[in-house]
Amino acid sequence: MAIFVHYLSILLISAVIFLLLRAYRLRLLRLPPGNLGLPFVGETLQLISAYKTENPEPFIDERAKRHGSVFTTHVFGEPTVFSADPETNRFILQNEGKLFECSYPGSISNLLGKHSLLLMKGNLHKRMHSLTMSFANSSIIKDQLLVDIDRLIRLNLDSWTDRILLMEAAKKITFELAVKQLMSFDPGEWSESLRKHYVLVIEGFFTVPLPLFSATYRRAIKARREVAGALSKIVKERREEYEKGERKNDMLGALLGGEWEEDQLSNEQIVDFMVALLVAGYETTSTIMTLAVKFLTQTPLALAQLKVKSRGKKYKQNTKVKVGTGNFV
């Protein structure tokens, strides 16, 4: 019993010293007022639980009321300054890369990989960003994107039963389209297996980046290894094909060749880059698609106006465009 009390006393004293040092560091760094919460975890659990409800705003509202519109907290393993002030936010965005440098929580950066476009800086970031934009604006995308979108949506619509979860269906379509544009893979068992691993990776973005404390983060790390392994195999095969003179008009083909002839990217760099690209549109695009359906369903007038506009374009542009053996609207 005496030993237990002794260790408990040491633990309590250590916790008090830790909290005092952290409070002193907060004042030393001249950060905005706020609360750093528990050691290591901070206020991450409160933020996650808030965003799992229908009304996540109180997490910020309560702290803004207590500390002001700009306050300090500790989430996802990082001391973090939140700003709910529009003028402050505008100032930060206008000075990104000048007075402010973009960064991400450890949970996101660890899962995306050190060569991710989101984490790149300097000339390499400019080159990769330029390559991405030039590919997005290329004739390859313009000629094939609408065709692929039409085909994949029709394919998914045909597979729907009486009841579907729209958000999940939108995510599936978005991911299949991204895989097609990046690697020229049609939907199948491989792409669906990859998507399921991606879901686990994304779930790990907003957790404490400590495997010991978070089972979600442990699963995400494991899933990330699976994703990297699957993509590494594809990159290796495609590089061998490229060296034999075989070319494919997709993003992976652009990464393997073109302006990189004299300074080729490593397989690891390409894998990290593609991991980030697949993540980038998965949540955002599917969310926008789902919200569009939701709000159009709830606003019959807007839906009717959209149908009229669509019909007008249809007649004006002669309705269908012939591609290959079929037509698409």
CB atoms within 10 A of CB 198: 21
Phi, psi (5° rounding) for residue 122? Answer: 75, -150
Last residue of a domain, one of 41, 71, 103: 103
User: Residue 190 contacts by C-beta under 8 Å, 6 or more apart in sequence?
Assistant: 230
Last residue of a domain, one of 71, 103, 135: 103
User: Does residue 222 lie within any of the structural domains?
Assistant: yes
Judge contact between 195 and 184, C-beta under 8 A: no
Q: Taking Cα atoms as reference points, which of 83, 131, 75 lies closest to residue 108?
A: 75
* pLDDT string in tens for the chain (329-residue length): 555 444 445 444 444 444 444 554 555 567 888 888 877 778 888 887 877 777 767 888 888 889 999 999 888 877 888 898 999 999 988 987 788 877 778 888 888 888 777 777 667 667 777 777 766 666 666 677 778 888 888 888 888 887 888 888 889 899 998 898 888 888 889 999 999 999 999 888 888 777 777 888 999 999 999 999 999 999 999 999 888 888 888 888 888 875 544 567 888 888 988 888 888 778 788 889 899 988 998 998 988 888 876 665 544 444 444 444 444 44
Same domain, 95 and 132: no
Same domain, 282 and 157: yes
Same domain, 165 and 226: yes
Residue 267 to residue 287: CA distance in whole angstroms: 31
Residue 68 to residue 70: CA distance in whole angstroms: 5
Residue 149 to residue 328: CA distance in whole angstroms: 10
Same domain, 133 and 204: yes
Judge contact between 75 and 105, C-beta under 8 A: yes
Same domain, 231 and 195: yes
Query: What domain range is 64 assigned to?
Result: 1-103
Same domain, 154 and 289: yes
Phi, psi (5° rounding) for residue 249? Answer: -90, 75
CB atoms within 10 A of CB 152: 18
User: Does residue 315 lie within any of the structural domains?
Assistant: no
User: Does residue 92 lie within any of the structural domains?
Assistant: yes
User: Does residue 116 lie within any of the structural domains?
Assistant: no
User: Does residue 205 lie within any of the structural domains?
Assistant: yes
Number of folded domains that form the chain: 2
Residue 167 to residue 290: CA distance in whole angstroms: 6
Same domain, 50 and 153: no
- Report, in this order, helix, strand and coil percent for the chain, each rounded to 5: 65, 5, 25
User: Does residue 42 lie within any of the structural domains?
Assistant: yes
What DSSP state is assigned to residue 77? T
User: Does residue 305 lie within any of the structural domains?
Assistant: no
User: Does residue 311 lie within any of the structural domains?
Assistant: no
Task: Look up the CATH number of the domain holding residue 228.
Answer: 1.10.630.10
Same domain, 285 and 189: yes
Q: How far is CA 82 from each of CA 27, 91, 217, 267, rounded to the nearest angstrom?
A: 17, 14, 23, 37
Last residue of a domain, one of 44, 74, 103: 103
Same domain, 160 and 271: yes
Same domain, 8 and 137: no
Residue 110 to residue 107: CA distance in whole angstroms: 5
Same domain, 255 and 198: yes
Residue 297 to residue 302: CA distance in whole angstroms: 9
Same domain, 74 and 174: no
Whole-structure pTM value: 0.72
Judge contact between 76 and 105, C-beta under 8 A: yes
CB atoms within 10 A of CB 115: 19
